[in-house]
Each structure stands twice: as structure tokens, then as C-alpha cells.
Structure 1
Amino acid sequence: MALFDYLDVLMFAGLCLAILLGYPVTFTLLGIALFFALLGWLTGHFDAGLLGALSQRIFGIMTNPVLIAIPVFVFMGAVLEKSRIAEDLLEQMGRLFGSIRGGLAVSVVVVGALLAASTGIVGATVVAMGLIALPTMLANGYDKRLAAGTVCTAGTLGQIIPPSTLLIILSDVMSNAYQQAQFAEGKFTVETISVGQTFAAALVPGFVLVALYIAYIMAIAYLRPAMAPPLTRPPKLSGQDEARGGVLGVLMPPIVLIVAVLGSILGGIATPTEAAAVGAVGAVLLAALRLGDARTRKLVLIGGAALAVLAVLAGVAPVRLQRGDLDGGDYAIGAIGIVLTLVVALALIKAFRTTGKAGILKDAATGTMTVSAMIFGTIIGANVFSLVFRGLGGDARIEEILTLMPGGADGALIFVMILVFVLGFFLDFVEISVILLPIVAPALILMGHDPVWLSVLIAINLQTSFLTPPFGFSLFYLRGAAPPEITTGTIYAGVLPFIGLQALGVAAVWLLPPLATALPAWLF
């Protein structure tokens, strides 16, 4: 009978074993949860009435205004990735920095940061740069390990630089954990953690990581010039006519899109879902701008300008035409708004036709559906798992374990960070975020850790898990896209220094909490 007192421990162990056997995570979570719920009910250790909350939990997930932004951001990133905007960015940044030692590697890091802030899709970014930048780096004499490590690491910036799917999920998880912690303290007027706060908190640490990568590359180029020589051959990347782009012409559209999406969230102008919708529309316009003829590009530019003016107008002088106290000026502003809306609609129709003919919309929609189904399926399965786990007393046991850790609150956090890092060898970031964090985060917050700061630490840790041999996902992405001369051992050796830089980034945020907390405190 004593064995049944540890059903929560057996449940977690059974989940780890089933996942390692290769079963789909969503079905594994549901199967393990229902099996142990039945076993707990039969042995008197679980109240089956708790399962009555499942329908409300699932409905809450599907209607969660934070999580609804995920498919829209995924669609935005998929459109930008399918339209091959990364090629233009790499080409122009290569021309800008390529003449200096290590310049091409610096270009890869900068483009990785730009793509992270516009697409947020790690796999697509690593594969794109592996196909485009890696051969160019090798052709110009770059050390294989440095080239592979740079491409692999730059591609993972999509995990920490907003708008990131990881940060959206972390925001929801930490908000729920923060509310649980407040309830446990007897506070019933609860505060929450918004997506905007999490985005703002991750922004500076993300740039710190970019600065660390660039500093390391420049140091290698200075100390060992043969490993990162100046560019001797112009990159043959996209074949884009320079008259259509140039550095500013290629850089400005993604930067404007990034500013529109992040600026509207951080400025409190739009919710994450609204900002994601703006990003999706902007991504379609950018794709049409790149793929269309001269007439299409002209109409898209006019539509984009009209959209920007309409957004400003709606914020500065909103008009509700159904009101009865409007004067002539209000009707004039309303008429201008209607005209601008029609212009935007025409540009969007043309953009959708252009991207549809190119096959981008179909591929992007299919990819969005696949990724979104995986994420939401995992979240639903994890909610069922956590409900049963808590019903078996698992949350109390976890809190007890963390409380007994040597070193107090810091010791408990070190234990959780190590656990997250180790699980990152085997599990995806979505699985870790929605399975483990809801269990441990409330206890850590009750110990006094700031939830926003905690989110950033865990986000950097999860980003590191993409690079850790032998199972880091980015390593597999690059292995599939790399030329034959780049072996698996070369990739492993190349990412090791960058893993050290990641650890340095975690230490910087740990020792200097204002890196993560100052910006959200100022903005919110």
C-alpha cells in the first residue's frame, strides 16, 4: 500500500519513460494521466470529481486571448520564411560587413536576430541560413566549426527575442503560476503577467546574447585571422536585383514590421492577438513586395502607407460613426478612414493573389495548422496531466522538495534550472513549458523569485537546450541542411563555445536582474 502513496512520483517517471520510447507527446500525456487517474481512484488516492473540470479547462485554452496569438504569429513567420526574405537579408548584410575579418559571421548573427524578431521560427531560420550562408562561409575560408556554430546559434535567437512562441507560452504559464502563488498567500485581488511584460523583459537579454556572440566572433577573428577571413567572393545568394533593394531597401521593411508588432504591444496600443494580426498582414504585404512586379510593388507600398496612416488615425482621432453628436470634422475624418481602408483592402487583395499564385499562402497555412495543432494538443494534454498530478498531491510534493533544497530560494532555482537544462536534451520547449513549469513555478514564486525575471532565465535556458549535444533540435536542423563536409562532430564542436556564451548570458541576467526587469517596470 505504501507504493500507492507515491503515485505522483510514479506518474512523472512513467511520463518520462513513455516519451523516451518515442510515443507522440500529446497522446502520452493524456494516456498517462487517465491511467493514473483510474489507478488513483481505485486505490482511494484520487477524487474522480476533479475530472469534471476538464471541459472547462480545454475551453479556456482554446479561447485564451494570449494563446490565440500563437497561430497568427506562426503564420506571420511562415509567410516571411516561405517568401525567402532571409536570402535578401543575408546577401545585403554580407555585403555590408563582409569586408572585415569575421564580418560574414557577424552578418549571420545580425540576420538571425532580425529573423528572430520577425519570424520566430527556429527550425526554418537554421535551415535557411544553413543552405544560404554556410556554403558562402566555407567557400571564403571560414573554419568549419566556427561557421557551423555561428549558423546554428544565430538560428536559435528566435526563442528569446520577441515575438517568440516560447515567450507567449511562458507568459501564460507564469501568469497562472503567479495567480496560484497569490491565492496561496491569501491575496484575492490578483495581478497577472502580460505578454507585453514578458516581451519587454526578454528584449535586453536577447540583445545581450547577440552582443556576446558578436564579441566572441570578433575576438576569434582578431586572435586567429585564418578562422574568419574577410569576404573574398561576393555572395551568390538570392540573385535579387540590387536596384530593387540595396541595404536600406532590404532592411527597412522587416524593421518596420518588427517595430509595428513589438511597438504596438510594448506601447500598450494593441493586444498580442491584434499585434499578431498586424504582423500577419504586414508579412503578406512584404512577401508580395518581394515577389510582385513593378505595378504590384507600387500598390503594396501605397497600401502599406495607408495602413500606417490608418493606424495612427485610429489612435489619435478615433471616430464612431454610429454616435449622434458628430460634427463635420468627425465625418471628414471618418471619410478619410473609409478611403484608407479601401486602399488597404485593394493592396491586400493584390498581395493575397500574388502570394497565392506563388504557392506561399498554401504552404504557410499548412505549416501554421501543423505547428498550431502540435502546440495546442500538447497544452491540452499537459493540462489534463497537471490536473491529475495535482489531484494525486504532486504539487505539494514538489513544493516540499524545493523547500528542502540546500541554499533556500536560490538553491531551489538552481535545481529547477539544471532540471530544465537536462530535460532540454530530450523534450521540446513546448513540452517543458507546459508540463514542468506549471508544477514548479508557483513554488519558486512563493519563495520570492520575480515571475518576469524567472521567465527570462528559463527562456534562455530553454534556448540553450536547442544547442546541447547530442539531442539539440538545432543541431539536427543544421545537419539536414549542411553540405557533406560538415559532419555531426563538426557541428557539436562548433556549438560548444556558444553554449558557454549562453551560460554567461544566464549568469548575467541572474546577477543583474535589472537586465530583465527594468524595461517592463518602466513600460508597465
Structure 2
Amino acid sequence: MLEYLDLIMFVALMCAILLGFPVAFSIAGVAVIFAYLGWSLGKMDITLLGALGQRVFGVLTNQVLIAIPLFVLMGALLEKSRIAEELLDKMGRLFGQLRGGLGIAVVLVGTLLAASTGIVGATVVAMGMIALPTMLRVGYDARVASGIVCTAGTLGQIIPPSTLLIILADVMSNAFQQAQYEQGKFSVQALSVGQFFAAAMIPGLVLVCLYLLYILVRGWLRPQDMPPAPPDLVKPDWREVVGAVMPPVLLIFAVLGAILGGVATPTEAASVGAVGALLMTGYRYGAGPRIILSGAMALIALAILAGVIPVRLQRNDLTSTEIGLGVLYTGLAILGGLAVLAALRASFRAKIAHQAIESTMTMTAMIFATIIAAGFFSLVFIGLGGEERVAGILSEMPGGATGALVFSMVVIFVLGFFLDFVEISVIVLPLVTPSLILLGHDPIWLGILIAINLQTSFLTPPFGFSLFYLRGAAPKEVSTGQIYAGVIPFIGLQIVGVCLIWFVPSLATWLPSVLF
């Protein structure tokens, strides 16, 4: 029995989470209990826990993870400022006359929100409250409508920027470095968040195309499930569509363009996104269109000019041209700062900033508490011999490297029925990914396969988070059983997406190889 203490520890964690205890406390509590058990039974060297303080400090000072609260703030501002509602209204009226047109609109809006917010809960709740009642009024089957809303909302986990990809990039980079050390390489390479953002772009769009194709085919085969909107629905003109779509698209280009173009780190780009979302919020809530637009243009011009013609004002050999540029840059910075202050004033006056900051602090605290507790858990698990057991299981799998990857993907998929992506990312992946990389799998391709698999955990009953989010926002006539039934075809499409990336690795590896 003692030799299986590591496995018993993992089962105990699953039971604690399923009993409803808070996740971070469950992870840390189980780690404390089994650390004491392992030490008292002579199965673990307790001095291993001396590394815990260093691990916590490493998490809190990790430059990659600092981007998480900034991206969360960007998404919270966009959600609280009701930009999602305007997008849904305009896109719904644009595509409403098609069979499945409202479903197409929901997926397209989900894609735009995924690329500009990356927050699954906010997107699912917004579309559950706005789009789902409209789809039901038109005559959509409740299961189909629920499945479309849930699935479109989860795109925020695979389409960058997303917290899943940031956490996964950190985990995979550490695993890649560990694998290189075990191979005897001491001049190791690291992986960046930008590489994973680039790698996820095409697979994310592939999933969007699969969803749209399914909706079109089902609308053609079973028109009664997704009828067109009433003919009296007023189509928006092109100005309304452009006005709704352009702000999030510009924000997407600013954030992802800065990262993929190598202009800014993910943390710097997340700051750009948060400022952009704040300016958009201020524009909607009466900060003054002139000051906001001129400030935004000034900040864009400052970023471009300072990148093309940098000026070092601390030097003592400046030319008159450089001094003139320094004055220009200072003026642009002041104008941009005034616009940010005006947007802050308007968002505080409308109580939008209060809600966004509270939401950001809550989600960030949850994520970091889970990561820190998972570091404690993994230390104890390694001390009990769990790491060697996992490596042994993977190396002895029939089918070699492919068999080990299939086994790992199935385990991750099954765990997704019960655990959140954060727990799986920071507890399970550090144990299996180094061995998979040592077996010869490309770390970026492997990371994207796992990312799509983890995205599925939001849809799989009984504990898929998107299902809970929609249950809270859906009308009473939509039952929990209908929501569960509605996501099953989309879970199948997720599996098809994993298979496509598996058999065509260039879908995930081509773009990062070109950009980096």
C-alpha cells in the first residue's frame, strides 16, 4: 500500500475537489496531509519542502504570468462596457435571414470576443443573456442554441490572447528546458508566449471553421432546428456594422500585432490592450470623442515613431533634430495621458472601472492561488516518487512515443470532466510533458494539442465551466439536460480538431517557425 502513496494522493485530491472544497485549499490541504504521511512513514525526505519558498517567489516574479491580470482587466473592461451586446445585436441582424444565421453570428462574435477578451465566463454569460433568448424566440431548438452559445464562448481559451496559452507557455517552456537538461544539454532553449500565440492562431481558426460548417450543414439538413429570423428584422447598414466591429478588431491588431511582430513582450502588449479597452470604455461613457480619438492616435503615433526613430534624451550629444523629436514625443505622451485620465474619469463615474477591477482581482487571485498550491502539491508528489512512476508508465506504453501521447491525451480529456484547465495545467502537465518531449514530440505542436484538449474541459459534463456559466444565464425554459445534450456534437468537433492538428502538424508549427 505504501508504494502507491503517490497515486492515493492524486485520488484524494480528486475526491476533495468533487466534494466541493475550494480548489486551491483542496490542493494545498492534500499536499500537507500526504507530506506528513510520507515523512512519518519514511517514504519522503521532508527537506525537499525547503524548495517551496523559492517556488512561490518564482511564481510571483514570473514575467510571463504578470501578463495574466492585464489581459483579464482588458477583457473585464470590454465585457462591462457592453461592447459584446452591441456586437451581438449588429451581427445577429446581419446574418439573421440565413438558416442558422443567428448561430453563425454567435460563433463570429465569440471569435472576436475571444481574440479581444479571452475570458470564457464573461463571453458565455453575455451571449447566454442576449443571444440565447433571441434564438429561442425565433424558433431554434434549445439544445442546438445552448450548444452554440457554450462552444462559441470557449473560443477564448484557444484563440490568443488567453490565460490558458500564457499558463501553458510557461509550463511547456519549463518542461522543454527540463527535457534538454536530461539530454545533457546545458545551453538550453526557452519557449515564449509569443510562439504559442502564433501556433494557436491557425488551429483556433480551424475550430471556428468547423463550427460554422456544422451550423450550415445542420441548418440545411434540419431547417426546423435553426429557422431564419422574421423578415421584419431590420438589417444594419454598413456604418453600424463597421462601428461595432472595428473597435475590437483594432484592439486585436494592436495586441497580437505587437506580440507576433516582435515589437512588444506579452506583458507590454497586455498593457496596450488594457489601455485600449479603457479608452474604448471611456468613449462609450461620455469621456468626449475628440479627446479619446486624438489621444488614441497620439499613442499609436508615439509607439510607431519611437520604434522607428528612438531618441535617448539622457545623452549629451543630441542634435537639434533629436531634441525636436523628443519634444514631439513628450507632447504625444501628454496627449495620450490626458485621454487615459478622461477615460478613467468616465469609467469610474459609470462604475464600470469598479466592477472590472473587482472581477480582475478575483480571477487573478484564483489563478495564482491555484498555481502556488499546485507547486506545493507537485513537490510532495515528486517526493513520494510520482514523477518516476509517470515517466515509467509513459516509457513502457505500447506504441512508443505515439502510444504515450495517446494515453496522455486520453487522461487529460478524462480529467477535464472533473477538473478546471488551471489545475490540469499546473498539476498534471509538468509531470507528463517532459517525458513526452524526451520521446521526440515537438513542444509547440504538443502544447497546441493539449490546449485544444483542455479547451474541451469547459464543455464536458458534469463539471464543464461553460455549462455552469450558461445554466446561470439561460432562461428557465432551457433545462440542464438540454444544455448537456447541446454540447455533445461540439465536443465531437473538438476531437476532430485535435485529429487535424495531429495529422497535419504544420497547422500549429508553420506560423511560429516563420515569425520566430
- Where on the TM-score scale, by shorter chain, does this alignment land: which range? over 0.9
State which of 455, 462, 468 in structure 1 corresponds to 2:460. Answer: 468
| 3-state SS of 2:164 partner | helix
The aligned counterpart of 2:474 is 482
Q: Counterparts of 1:139 and 1:126 in 2: how far apart (Å)?
A: 19
The aligned counterpart of 2:370 is 378
The aligned counterpart of 2:265 is 271
The aligned counterpart of 1:397 is 389
State which of 18, 29, 32 in structure 2 corresponds to 1:31. Answer: 29
Task: Decide which moves more: 94-103 or 445-454.
Answer: 94-103
| 3-state SS of 2:264 partner | coil
Q: Counterparts of 2:38 and 2:142 in 1: how far apart (Å)?
A: 54
Question: How far 1:143 sits from its partner (Å)?
Answer: 2.2
The aligned counterpart of 1:50 is 48
State which of 274, 277, 280 in structure 2 corresponds to 1:280. Answer: 274
Task: Decide which moves more: 298-307 or 203-212.
Answer: 298-307
For the 8 Å contact 1:129–1:151, the answer to whether it is kept is: yes
CA deviation vs aligned residue, 1:20-55 (integer Å, no higher than 9, x gap): 222222122222222222222223322222211111
Task: Decide which moves more: 310-319 or 141-150.
Answer: 141-150
Q: Counterparts of 1:504 and 1:243 in 2: how far apart (Å)?
A: 37
Question: How far 1:510 sits from its partner (Å)?
Answer: 0.6
For the 8 Å contact 2:97–2:231, the answer to whether it is kept is: no
The aligned counterpart of 1:330 is 322
The aligned counterpart of 1:417 is 409
Question: How far 1:495 sits from its partner (Å)?
Answer: 1.2
Question: How far 1:230 sits from its partner (Å)?
Answer: 2.2
Q: Counterparts of 1:226 and 1:298 in 2: how far apart (Å)?
A: 48
CA deviation vs aligned residue, 1:104-157 (integer Å, no higher than 9, x gap): 111100000000011111111011001111111122222222211111110010
Q: Which amino acid aligns with 2:171?
A: V
For the 8 Å contact 2:419–2:463, the answer to whether it is kept is: no
> Structure 1 vs Structure 2: percent identity of aligned residues?
63
Sort the Cα spacing of 1:151 and 1:448 in 2 relative to 1 into closer, same or farther, 3 A. same
Q: Counterparts of 1:220 and 1:336 in 2: how far apart (Å)?
A: 57
CA deviation vs aligned residue, 1:220-258 (integer Å, no higher than 9, x gap): 122222222222167799xxxx89961111111110101
Q: Counterparts of 2:234 and 2:475 in 1: how far apart (Å)?
A: 16
Question: How far 1:4 sits from its partner (Å)?
Answer: 2.4
Is residue 2:300 matched to residue 1:308? Answer: yes
Q: Which residues of structure 1 form unaligned runs of 5+?
A: none
Question: How far 1:387 sits from its partner (Å)?
Answer: 1.2
| 3-state SS of 1:441 partner | helix
Q: Counterparts of 2:228 and 2:320 in 1: how far apart (Å)?
A: 63
The aligned counterpart of 1:502 is 494
Q: Counterparts of 2:502 and 2:421 in 1: how far apart (Å)?
A: 21
Q: Counterparts of 2:224 and 2:89 in 1: how far apart (Å)?
A: 22
Q: Counterparts of 1:236 and 1:121 in 2: how far apart (Å)?
A: 30
| 3-state SS of 2:224 partner | helix
State which of 216, 219, 222 in structure 1 corresponds to 2:220. Answer: 222
CA RMSD of aligned residues (A): 1.6
Q: Counterparts of 2:215 and 2:110 in 1: how far apart (Å)?
A: 14
Task: Decide which moves more: 155-164 or 30-39.
Answer: 30-39
1:186-335 equivalence runs, <5 A: 186-232=184-230, 246-292=240-286, 296-335=288-327
| 3-state SS of 1:227 partner | coil
Task: Decide which moves more: 464-473 or 228-237.
Answer: 228-237
The aligned counterpart of 2:120 is 122
Q: Counterparts of 1:180 and 1:454 in 2: how far apart (Å)?
A: 15
Question: How far 1:93 sits from its partner (Å)?
Answer: 1.1
Q: Counterparts of 1:167 and 1:459 in 2: how far apart (Å)?
A: 7
Q: Which amino acid aligns with 1:142?
A: Y
For the 8 Å contact 1:140–1:233, the answer to whether it is kept is: no
Q: Counterparts of 1:94 and 1:234 in 2: how far apart (Å)?
A: 13
Task: Decide which moves more: 338-347 or 296-305.
Answer: 296-305
Q: Which amino acid aligns with 1:119?
A: T
Q: Counterparts of 1:512 and 1:175 in 2: how far apart (Å)?
A: 23
For the 8 Å contact 1:156–1:463, the answer to whether it is kept is: yes
| 3-state SS of 2:498 partner | helix
Task: Decide which moves more: 135-144 or 260-269.
Answer: 135-144
The aligned counterpart of 1:181 is 179
For the 8 Å contact 1:94–1:235, the answer to whether it is kept is: no
Q: Which amino acid aligns with 1:174?
A: M
| 3-state SS of 1:190 partner | coil
Q: Counterparts of 1:393 and 1:475 in 2: how far apart (Å)?
A: 36
Question: How far 1:5 sits from its partner (Å)?
Answer: 2.6
Q: Which amino acid aligns with 1:180?
A: Q
Is residue 2:35 matched to residue 1:20? Answer: no
The aligned counterpart of 1:89 is 87
CA deviation vs aligned residue, 1:163-183 (integer Å, no higher than 9, x gap): 000000000000111111111
For the 8 Å contact 1:136–1:235, the answer to whether it is kept is: no
Q: Counterparts of 1:453 and 1:477 in 2: how far apart (Å)?
A: 30
The aligned counterpart of 1:170 is 168
> TM-score, with normalisation over the residues of structure 1?
0.96
For the 8 Å contact 2:259–2:269, the answer to whether it is kept is: yes
Question: How far 1:6 sits from its partner (Å)?
Answer: 2.5
For the 8 Å contact 1:29–1:385, the answer to whether it is kept is: yes
Q: Counterparts of 2:307 and 2:437 in 1: how far apart (Å)?
A: 37
**Matched length:** 516
Q: Counterparts of 1:508 and 1:381 in 2: how far apart (Å)?
A: 35
> TM-score, with normalisation over the residues of structure 2?
0.97
Q: Which amino acid aligns with 1:125?
A: T
Question: How far 1:11 sits from its partner (Å)?
Answer: 1.7
Q: Counterparts of 2:92 and 2:384 in 1: how far apart (Å)?
A: 57
Q: Counterparts of 1:472 and 1:333 in 2: how far apart (Å)?
A: 54
For the 8 Å contact 2:391–2:435, the answer to whether it is kept is: yes
